[in-house]
Structure 1
Amino acid sequence: MNAQLKKALRRERVKALREERAQKRERERTGASTADPLFGALPEAKEDAAGPKAPASDQALDARAPLDVASPAPSAEGIEPMPDAASVPSFIGLDSPSGPARRTGWLWALACLVALVLLGLQYARHERDVLAAREPALRPMLQTLCDWTRCTLSPPRSIADISIEGASFSREAEGYRLDFSLRNRARTPLAMPAVELTLLDTQERALLRRVLLPTDYGAPTVLGAGAERTASLPLRLAGPDAAGLPPVAGYRLVAFYP
C-alpha cells in the first residue's frame, strides 16, 4: 500500500510540474503577443472591478491604433528617376570640363602641332640636297627654306656611289699624263668629286701628292645619275720639290669630297 501511494503521489507531482510549465509557456507567449515592435512590451492592463480584463490581442490592437492613421510610405512608382547625362542638353554643362582645363588641352595640341612642323622643317633642311635631287619639284620650296635659314642648296654627295674606271698614268716627253673616268652608280645626280693623285717610288712610298678639283680636269659640278665623265690632263713636275725627286714607279688615285 505504501509503494502504491508513493507512485500515485509521484505521478501527481509530475503532472503538477507539467501543468506549471505549460502555464509558464502560455504566459510567455501571451507576453510576447502584447509587446509592440516599436515601443517594446506594453504593461498588462489591470483587471477592471466591473469585469474581466480584455484579451491581450485586443490591447495590442488598441495600442497600435494610432499608428494605423499614419501616412503611407511613398511607393517606388511615385519616385521620378534622375535624368541621364546623355539626355541633358549641352548648355546645362553636366560634368563638362571647366574652361581652364579646355584651354590647357587646346594649348597642348597647338604645341604638339608646332613641334611637328619644326621637326619636319629641320629634317628638310638637313636632307635638302637629297630631296632636291630625288624630287625636282621641291627645289623652289627648299631654296626658300635655305633663304630663310641661310643654307646652300647643292647636289648630294655619296662617295660610295662614285667609282674610278680606266685610270692610267704615263710618262711623256715633257712630263706625265693622267687619264681616268668617273662613274655615278646612283639613281640620282651627285656632286662631282675631287681626285687625289699620289706618286709612288719603287717601294710604294709616297713621293708627291696633288689634289685635282673638278675645275682642274674640266668637269661640271654635277655628275648625272648613271653618267660617266672622262678626263685626260698633262702633269708636269716642277719646283724645288721635283728637283731631287726619285724616279716615279707608280701612282694611286682616290676620289673624295673635300
Structure 2
Amino acid sequence: MPLELVTIPCLSDNYTYLVHDGETGETAVIDVPDSAPVLKALSDRGWTLSAIWLTHHHSDHIDGVAELRAATGAMVIGAAADAHRLPPLDLALPDEGALTLGRHTVETFPVPGHTVGHIAFHIPDAKLVFTGDSLMSAGCGRLFEGTPAQMWASLSRLADLHPDTLVCSGHEYTASNIRFALTLEPANAALISRSERVAALRASGRPTVPVPLSEELATNPFLRAPLPALKAAIGKPDASDAECFAEIRARKDRF
C-alpha cells in the first residue's frame, strides 16, 4: 500500500508534511512550525501520530513540537549531532541513519549548509525526500552556518536520488526563487513554463510543493551549477561546480 502524503501550510510561508502508512496506521510529521494545523489535519483524517521527524533546529521548524508531543505522545526524532539545540529527542540519529514507517525504510543523512546539523529524510520505495531548508523548491537555503562547499555536497547528494522523487521542502519561496533563476537562464523553456504554473498555483492559493526532482534538475539554478552554459552566464566558464554554486548563492543573497 502506498504512503499518503499531506502538505500542510503553517505560519506565513512554512510547510510541514504528514506521511501515513495505511497498512499499519503509522503516521509521521516532518518539522512542526505550529502544532494546531497538524492536529487539525490528523483529526480530519482520523490518524494517530506516531513520530515527529526534525530536519534542523530553527524555531520555525520546531516551535510546535512540545505541544504536539504532549497532545499525541509521538516520539521525537532528530540528528544526534544537533541534539543540544533540538527539542528533547526520543531517538537521536547518527550521521547516516535509518528508521521505519510501517513497512517502509526511511534513510536519514546529513545535508549541512543551511545549518551544520541539518538532515534529510528519504523514503526510497515511496520516492519521497524531506529536505527542510537544504534543497528547496527552485532554490536552496541560505548558508547561515555551513559553507558553500558543504551545501554543494549536500545538494549533489540529493540530486543523485531517483528523478521521480518528490522533493518536500519547508517554505513557499518558489515564486521568488524562480524570478532569480530567470535572471540566469531567461531562455530556459522549462523554467519559463514552471514560472507560469507557479503563478497560477499561487493565484489560486495552492502550494507549489512538493516538486519532482526531475523538475528541480531542469529549473533550479543551484542544481544546475555544473552546466557549462550556466558557468558562462555568470562569467566564470572555468569555475569548478562548487565555485559556480558559491557564486550563484552569493548572487541570490543580493537579489
Provide TM-score, normalisation by structure 2.
Answer: 0.19
Task: Return the structure number with greater helix share.
Answer: 1
Q: Which has the larger radius of gyration?
A: 1
Provide TM-score, normalisation by structure 1.
Answer: 0.19
